[in-house]
Amino acid sequence: MTLITFNKPFRVLTRFTDPEGRATLADYIERPGVYPAGRLDFDSEGLLLLTDDGRLRAAITDPGHGVEKVYWVQVEGEPAAAALARLESGLLLADGITRPARAREIEEPADLWPRTPPIRFRAEIPTAWIELAIREGRNRQVRRMTAAVGLTLRLVRASVGPFALGALRPGEFLDVERTEAGSFRAALLELSARARAGRDARSASRPRVPVRSSGADRRSTGKRGPDRRR
């Protein structure tokens, strides 16, 4: 099994081909058989996991497993404590209420690489950084959540589960050691097994309602009742 941590640069698609000629993973990774476990938006940066193990990919992306993803988000303005509390308690989005999260204001992350092209700053509007940790992965969820705080200027994914960016620079990737990758896989598949067992147990405990056949059903068998013409 192969598991790769990759620092996806800004404006790179999380797939290996693009008919429009945009930058893709193929410009950085030459590993037959590996595919991204989840996605990271074209205009977002940071950690992306890739693997050749289909069950592991499915387990990482399954929201029921609650794999934590940590993001660093640069926003316009100073985030109010009430806005951070809303991020933590759950926000109503178009596709439902978000799960409880962790949110806090932080200093700009140390050793963060400059973005290319750079962020457009406006001198009269301050900016701030938020660290946001979620356990689900809806489409553009982090950007939709941080819209409650202010305009999102930059979004960097810092970690997925036990794996972090570390010293990876944009465009660099690293093979996870087999023992570490195997332990992560085993833990997630165990969660899958428990969830499946729980669903089976709930299904078995539901009372079964007997199915009553209708007159139409009886007629469809071809059997005739007593001939009342006699």
d(CA 26, CA 213): 59
Query: What are φ and ψ of residue 115, in 5° steps?
Result: -85, 145
Catalytic residue among 18, 41, 52, 62: 41
d(CA 158, CA 164): 6
41 tagged catalytic: yes
Residue with tokens 């469809």: 220
Rg (CA), the chain: 25
Residues with Cβ within 8 Å of residue 213, at least 6 apart in sequence: none
Alpha-carbon distances of 105 from 80, 108, 146, 211, rounded to whole Å? 9, 9, 12, 58
Q: Tell me the catalytic residues.
A: 41
